[in-house]
Amino acid sequence: MSLYSLIADLIVAVHALWVSIVVFGFVAILAGAVFGWQWIRNIWLRGIHLAMIGIVVLEAVFGMPCPLTVWEGSMRRAAGQAVNEGTFIGRCIHDTIFFDAPPWVFTCVYCCFGALVLGTMILVPPAWRKRG
C-alpha cells in the first residue's frame, strides 16, 4: 500500500465521518427534543451542525465538486489506482456513502435535508447562554 493510497483512505474516512455527524446529529437533535436532553441545545454544536450541512447544500446548488471527493480522486490517481479502486476498507467506506444517481437527486436531497436541519433551529432552538 502506498502513502497516497493510505491518504485516500483517510480522506474517505473523514468524508464518512462528516456524513455521519450530519445525519446522526440530526437524529440526536430530534431524540434530544423528545427526551429533554439539554446538550442538544448547545449553540456551538447546533451552529457547527448547520454549517456542515450548509456547506454541502451550497456545493450542490452551485455544482461544485466536494473537495474531499476531489482530493480522494487525486490521491487514488497518484497511487496508480482508478478512482473507484482502493483498499478494502477504503472501498467499503466509499461504497457506504456514495451511490449512483443523477446530480439533481443529490441536490434535492441535500437541500431538503438542509431545510430540515434549519427547521430544527426553529422547532428545537438552541439555548443562548446568558451573561453574568
- Of 81, 89, 85, 65, nearest to 16 (Cα)? 89
pLDDT at 35: 97
pLDDT digits over 105-127, tens only? 889 999 999 999 999 999 999 99
Neighbours of 61 (CB within 10 A): 12
Is it the case that residue 102 has pLDDT exceeding 90? no
d(CA 80, CA 94): 18
pLDDT bracket for residue 86 (50, 70, 90): low
d(CA 29, CA 113): 14
**Residue in the structure block whose three cell numbers are 427547521:** 119
Is it the case that residue 88 has pLDDT exceeding 70? no
Average of per-residue pLDDT across 60-89: 83
Q: Judge residue 128's burial from the number of C-beta atoms within 10 Å of its C-beta, 0-12 exposed, 13-18 middle, 19 or more buried.
A: exposed
- In this structure, which amino acid lies at residue 127? A
Is it the case that residue 42 has pLDDT exceeding 70? yes
pLDDT bracket for residue 85 (50, 70, 90): low
Is it the case that residue 83 has pLDDT exceeding 80? no
